[in-house]
């Protein structure tokens, strides 16, 4: 009996990881047979035109430090790399608002990826302090008299110096009214939690530009991350010949419409966490549905709003992340062919290599960190999700085109940073794609025509920030000027 039960459980466990058959085989087969016109390719690789905007980070007032700091501000940041970046930018802004000295932020261990990387493990601290030296005072550590103010200290009891109830998107006046008195009384205030704790509206132009200065100038990755990123970018741009083992050989970039010397970064946000949270059906059958439902219940105890909707409703609303197969069909419909060099920026794909097979069939020149860098080169980032993400961020910022398979923090960070630098970034029309992929009768020409029409104006064109939207995603007009 026990043997039979064990075999039954193992059957379901293994089935969860068996990649489903292609859900869009009709489209997939059409793509694999078609030929690609050169004109379509050339327009894809053409850089964005000058849109009449430029980075604009310097304050209209001369930068100045307060004569006397009111005290020290500590923040404790959770989330992944991109959420932490936003928190760091907000922490600098809050320190400026309060005329306080900022302590290098403490990064909490990521509960999903179990990563304990610190600020100094990820970011170049000397560069961070130097870029901001005329704007705020920053210290690496608290002075001895405040050395008691640690994460452990705040975890054991209610403390007068901890600010625990900062509202989401708090105003500048909230900090002046609620945190400034703590600084006056104790000389230190520790804000935790601090994710999304500063508003995007009703702040001075000086504070808004400071936030962008932190994000786009002060936050540089540590040298070994930049070095690995540069090596990967070089190997993507200048791949070796079949008989050439030297990755870094110099080649001439001839733009023949086939993407020679150019590459696309695809952020494939399709890990188990994402798949479960979306509550969508990804074609893995009963075993996958059971596995994701169990994971969803264990991690979020039923607090997943999407689970109230049917799969069809979720797809029509654009709430389902694209599978590797679907993002591959989108790329093909946009005009990328099988000679396109594709860099996969992703932590872990749910279903592994088997799930990636359809995408790899479409784009055989698909690479990632493991395929482009030796184990020795990757030793310093191995098993560290934040550093792995940092390398992907760096490579993404140096790509010709970036596209994400679904909205999220990485997507938002890239949209903002690449807008700031006027780089091409394709934003998938999720609602349109959900509807197209639900229509099983579409021919390839019909699918491609609908995709091309639905993605006009979604290649990185400037979109001005609307009230309450993040300036880290929409840096114009707060942090960019017309010219």
- pLDDT tens digits, one per residue of 382-394: 999 999 999 999 9
Mean pLDDT, residues 64-89: 93
**C-alpha span between 438 and 352 (Å, rounded):** 24
Residue 249 reports pLDDT greater than 70 = no
Q: Is the pLDDT of residue 27 over 90?
A: yes
* The two structure tokens encoding residue 71: 């005290």
| Kind of pairing between the strands at 53-55 and 480-482 | antiparallel
Q: Which CATH architecture has domain 72-220?
A: 3-Layer(aba) Sandwich (3.40)
Among candidate residues 218, 222, 201, the one with its CA nearest the CA of residue 210:
218
Comparison of pLDDT for 44 and 179, the residue scoring more: 179
> In this structure, are strands 264-267 and 401-404 parallel, antiparallel, or unpaired?
parallel
pLDDT at position 318? 87
* Residue written as token pair 């491609």: 448
Domain residue spans of the chain: 22-50+225-239+259-482, 72-220
Judge whether residue 251 has pLDDT over 50.
no
User: Are 410 and 265 within 8 A, CB to CB?
Assistant: no
Q: What is the pLDDT at residue 75?
A: 98
Q: What is the mean pLDDT of residues 136-160?
A: 96
Distance CA 44, CA 10 (A): 46
Place of tokens 């006056």: 184
Tell the burial category of 376 from Cβ atoms under 10 Å away from its Cβ (0-12, 13-18, 19+): exposed
Lowest mean pLDDT among 1-5, 30-34, 430-434: 1-5
Beta bridge mates, 482 = 53
> Does residue 418 surpass a pLDDT of 80?
yes
H or E segment and range at residue 357:
helix 352-362
Q: At what angle do helices 2-17 and 285-300 cross, to 10 degrees?
A: 90
Percent of the chain with pLDDT over 70: 89
**Among 61-75, 272-286, 354-368, whose mean pLDDT is lowest?**
272-286
pLDDT at 452 (0 to 100): 95
Whether the per-residue pLDDT at 435 is higher than 70: the answer is yes
pLDDT higher than threshold 50 for residue 253: no
Residue 7 has pLDDT above 60, yes or no: no
Residue 3 has pLDDT above 50, yes or no: no
Give residues with Cβ within 8 angstroms of 217, minimum separation 6: 57, 131
Task: Collect contacts of 313-316 with beta carbons under 8 A, ≥24 apart.
Answer: 314/278, 314/279, 314/280, 314/434, 315/280, 315/434, 315/435, 315/437, 315/438, 316/431, 316/434, 316/435, 316/438
Q: Tokens representing 60? A: 């209209």
Q: What is the pLDDT of residues 292-329, one digit of tens each?
A: 888 888 877 767 766 678 888 888 888 888 999 999 99
Closest CA relative to residue 343, chosen from 386, 374, 373, 375 = 373
Strands annotated E in 364-476: 366-367, 401-404, 424-426
Residue recorded with tokens 């929409």: 474
C-alpha to C-alpha distance for 158 and 304, rounded to whole angstroms: 31
3-state SS assignment for residue 366: strand
DSSP helix/strand/coil, 202: coil
156-208 pLDDT per residue, tens: 999 999 999 999 999 999 999 999 999 999 999 999 999 899 999 999 999 99
SS3 334: helix
Is the CA virtual torsion 238, 241, 246, 249 positive or negative? Answer: negative
Q: Which of 351-360, 435-444, 466-475 has the lowest mean pLDDT?
A: 351-360
Taking 90 as the threshold, does the pLDDT of residue 133 lie above it?
yes
Smallest Cα–Cα separation from 180: which of 96, 88, 106?
96
pLDDT of residue 294: 87
In this predicted structure, the answer to whether residue 479 has a pLDDT above a threshold of 90 is yes
Residue 317 to residues 310, 312, 314: CA-CA distances in angstroms? 11, 9, 5
Global confidence as pTM: 0.90
Asked whether the predicted pLDDT for residue 357 surpasses 60, the reply is yes
pLDDT at 256: 41
């Amino acid at each position: 009996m026990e043997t039979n039960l064990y075999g039954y459980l193992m059957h379901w466990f293994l089935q969860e990881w068996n990649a489903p058959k292609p859900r869009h085989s009709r489209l997939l087969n059409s793509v694999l047979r078609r030929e690609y016109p050169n004109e379509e390719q050339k327009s894809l690789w053409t850089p964005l035109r000058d849109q009449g905007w430029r980075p604009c980070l310097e304050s209209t007032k001369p930068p100045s430090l307060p004569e006397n700091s009111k005290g020290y501000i500590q923040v404790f940041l959770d989330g992944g790399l991109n959420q932490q970046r936003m928190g760091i930018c907000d922490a600098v802004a809050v320190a400026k608002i309060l005329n306080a000295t900022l302590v290098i932020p403490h990064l909490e261990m990521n509960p999903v990826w179990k990563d304990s990387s610190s600020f100094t493990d990820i970011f170049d601290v000397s560069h961070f302090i130097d870029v901001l030296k005329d704007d705020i005072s920053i210290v690496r550590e608290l002075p001895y008299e405040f050395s008691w103010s640690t994460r452990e200290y705040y975890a054991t009891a209610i403390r007068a110096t901890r600010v625990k109830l900062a509202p989401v998107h708090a105003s500048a006046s909230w900090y002046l009214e609620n945190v400034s008195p703590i600084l006056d009384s104790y000389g230190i205030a520790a804000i935790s939690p601090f994710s999304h704790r500063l508003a995007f509206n009703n702040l001075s132009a000086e504070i808004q530009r400071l936030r962008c200065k932190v994000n786009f100038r002060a936050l540089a990755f540590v040298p070994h991350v930049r070095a690995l990123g540069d090596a990967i970018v070089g190997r993507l741009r200048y791949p070796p010949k079949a008989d050439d083992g030297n990755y870094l050989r110099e080649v001439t970039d001839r733009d023949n419409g086939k993407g020679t010397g150019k590459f696309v970064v695809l952020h494939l946000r399709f890990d188990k966490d994402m798949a479960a949270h979306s509550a969508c059906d990804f074609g893995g059958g009963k075993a996958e549905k059971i596995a994701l439902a169990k994971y969803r219940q264990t991690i979020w105890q039923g607090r997943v709003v999407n689970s109230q909707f049917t799969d069809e409703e979720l797809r029509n609303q654009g709430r389902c992340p694209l599978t590797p197969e679907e993002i591959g069909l989108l790329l093909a419909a946009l005009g990328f062919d099988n000679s396109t060099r594709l860099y996969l920026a992703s932590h872990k794909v749910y279903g592994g290599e088997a799930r990636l097979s359809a995408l790899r069939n479409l784009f055989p020149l698909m690479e990632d960190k493991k395929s482009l860098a030796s184990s020795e080169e990757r030793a310093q980032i191995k098993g560290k999700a934040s550093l792995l993400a940092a390398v992907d961020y760096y490579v993404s910022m140096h790509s010709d085109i970036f596209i994400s398979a679904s909205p999220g923090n990485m997507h938002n960070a890239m949209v903002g940073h690449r807008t700031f630098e006027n780089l091409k970034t394709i934003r998938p029309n999720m609602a349109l794609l959900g509807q197209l992929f639900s229509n099983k009768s579409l021919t390839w020409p019909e699918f491609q025509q609908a995709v091309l029409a639905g993605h006009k104006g979604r290649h990185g064109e400037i979109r001005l920030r609307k009230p309450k939207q993040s300036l880290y995603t929409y840096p114009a007009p707060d942090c960019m000027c017309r010219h």
